[in-house]
Structure formats: C-alpha cells, structure tokens
Amino acid sequence: MASTADIKNGVVLSIDGQLWNVVEFQHVKPGKGGAFVRTKLKNVISGKVVDKTYNAGAKVDIQNVDRRDYQYLYNDGESFVFMDLDDYDQINVPATVVGDAANFMLENQNVTIALHDGNPLYLDLPASVVLEITYTEPGLQGDRSSAGTKAATVETGYEIQVPLFLETGTKVKVDTRTGDYLGRVN
C-alpha cells in the first residue's frame, strides 16, 4: 500500500473496487490542524469527476496502469483493432472503451491506450487531428444568418461546424477533446 505522499497527476487509484485517475492534487498544510491532500479524481470507466480529501499519510491503493503506444488498424464492427508498436501484437478494444475517440481516428493513426491487467481502460488521442471534409454545403456569399459557420462532415463521419468559406476536400484541424474546428491545413 502506498501513502498520500505518492499521489501525483495521472496516477490511478482503486477506491471501493473502481479505478479513479488523479486529475489534480494539492498538499495542504494549514496553520492549525493536520496536513491533508485534496484531490480531483476522474472515474476511468464512466468519466465522472469527484473531489476527495485524504489526511496526510493515509494509505491509498495505487494501481499499475500501463500506457502503451498503439496504431489503429480497423473497426471490425464490434470492436476496434489496434497494433502494439513495440511487439506488433494486436488487441481488440470494445467500442464502449473507445467512445467518442472514434470520431477522430483514422486508420494507421497512433494513439496511447491505458491498460490495467491487460484490459484496455481508455484511449489518449493527440490534442488535435487533421481530417478532410468529405461533404459540406457551398457557402453563400453574404449569408450571415448562421453566424458565419455551417455543418461539415469529415472523413470519419463526424459532423463539425466550420466557417462558410471552406469547401469539400479541404483539410482541417479538429480539437479531439471538444470536436471544435481549429483551422485550415494546407
């Protein structure tokens, strides 16, 4: 068992049989009373975020989570298939684990997968990806009724809002956390 002194950002704790990722932590030593550790934890499976406070020196159950680089190969209908870049082993990751990341993944794209006891927990994508617009309505000159944006479908099938001047075939940079348009790529 580890103590609260071992808590750092990115560490995974086991609390009541569930895995929680430490998003933020702060050691607090008030002038009066004992020191404590204030943490913000994110549930690995559900994504729920909670605040939890520990007394300094309390025992915590730190889990070993292996983060490895994989390459996305294809979707077989039920799960997503990834290849380990070190030993070329392939793993199947259920669509429930991949979640919204599927909107931003192209074949042969590198991602980081967090594994616990060989089971995939979650995917880490780069902060932004470059995707090509496969369909968008032509922008009408002078049309400002829609605040200067229009819907566009990118090559993964995901729909984003882009400026009116963009056309089908344009490559754009998309934020993987929010799905927002970040800019045009030449």
pLDDT digits (tens, 9 = 90+) for 66-78: 889 999 999 998 8
What CA–CA distance (Å, rounded) separates 79 from 29? Answer: 47
In which residue are the tokens 């950002």 written? Answer: 9
**What per-residue confidence (pLDDT) applies to 170?**
92
Stretches where the chain sits below pLDDT 70 are 139-147
- Ordered by where they begin, the domains of the chain are 2-63 (2.30.30.30), 66-124 (2.40.50.140), 128-185 (2.40.50.140)
What CA–CA distance (Å, rounded) separates 150 from 164? Answer: 6
Q: What is the DSSP letter of 111?
A: E
pLDDT digits (tens, 9 = 90+) for 168-179: 999 999 999 899
pTM of the model: 0.74
Tell me the sheet residues that pair with 73. none
